[in-house]
Amino acid sequence: MRHSIEQTLDAVCRRIGARREDAELLHLHSNAVYRITSAGVVVRIALAHDAASRIATSLRVTRWLAARGVPTVEPADEAGEQPLLVNGHVVSVWRLVDAPPDTATATAYELGQILRTLHAQPEPPFPVPTVDDPFVRLRHETRTSTVLSDRQRAWLLNRADELGRAWKTLRYPHPPALVHGDAHPGNLLRTRDGRAVLCDWDGVALGHREWDLVQVHYTCRRFGRPTTPDLDTLAEAYGWDIRDWPGLDTLIAIRELSGRLPY
């Protein structure tokens, strides 16, 4: 896999006229993410073979949001038509957000501000996926897994069915909105002029805005971050505290089992 990624990066650099030797690996998980400072871009190589539609949507949505003044990373459209398909990988190229090293990290308060702005946007004038069943990917991956035992597979599918029924009974206090899908302070970047912008839009969709607000509460319970005071400031910035909603524990359990992407 790593060799395939390196070959893909070589080809992308040739295509966009960037110096391959300047590429720095930032992240390797669902995407291989490279910063190329000399070219002013970030290259994201998707590792999933079914990523084309998601990446195309993320590019289109962020262009639209940026034009509306929403704080977001932006596609590097000077790199040509996107997404690129290179060596079987779906690739997107983004404008580099590169603050000085001593810049303060973005905060939960800023995340709350950005989510409030995002959720106030109208529905985009083009098709966007909807959050209908958060366990679609989990069920597929569980059924096709070659490493799970029959007992493990049965437990996961039964738990998904149980929480899927709970998902359908939730009553939300807010109308649906455009949601980011993986909203947490780690997906905020600081610009050189001091603004915080939201990145990693692979999970963008139309759905319940509580899906964006639950992520930080899930990670707080499981990992202790963000802290409870951070959650207080996020609620202050957003203008509503999801902890006042009786469906929070159920949504946290759904988020924990389903993984990151909401569709």
* Domains defined for the chain, CATH in brackets: 2-95 (3.30.200.20), 108-258 (3.90.1200.10)
pLDDT for the residue numbered 1 = 67
Read off the pTM. 0.93
pLDDT at 103: 82
Residues 6+ apart with CB under 8 A from 43: 9, 12, 13, 18, 23, 33, 34, 36, 91, 92, 93, 94
What are the tokens at 80?
A: 């040509």
Under 8 Å CB-to-CB from 78, ≥6 apart: which residues?
none
Which residues does residue 177 pair with via DSSP β-bridges, in sequence order?
207
What is the number of alpha carbons within 13 Å of residue 132 lying toward its C-beta? 4
Residue type, 44: R
Give residue 3's pLDDT: 76
DSSP type of residue 123: P
Name the burial class of residue 151, with classes exposed (0-12), middle (13-18) and buried (19+) by CB atoms within 10 angstroms of its CB.
exposed
d(CA 181, CA 131): 9
From the list 89, 66, 86, 87, the residue with the least C-alpha distance to 76 is 66
For residue 76, the one-letter residue type is A
Q: Which two tokens stand for residue 101?
A: 């090293």
152 forms bridges with which residues in the sheet? none
Regions of the chain with pLDDT less than 70: 1, 260-263
Question: pLDDT value at position 260?
Answer: 56
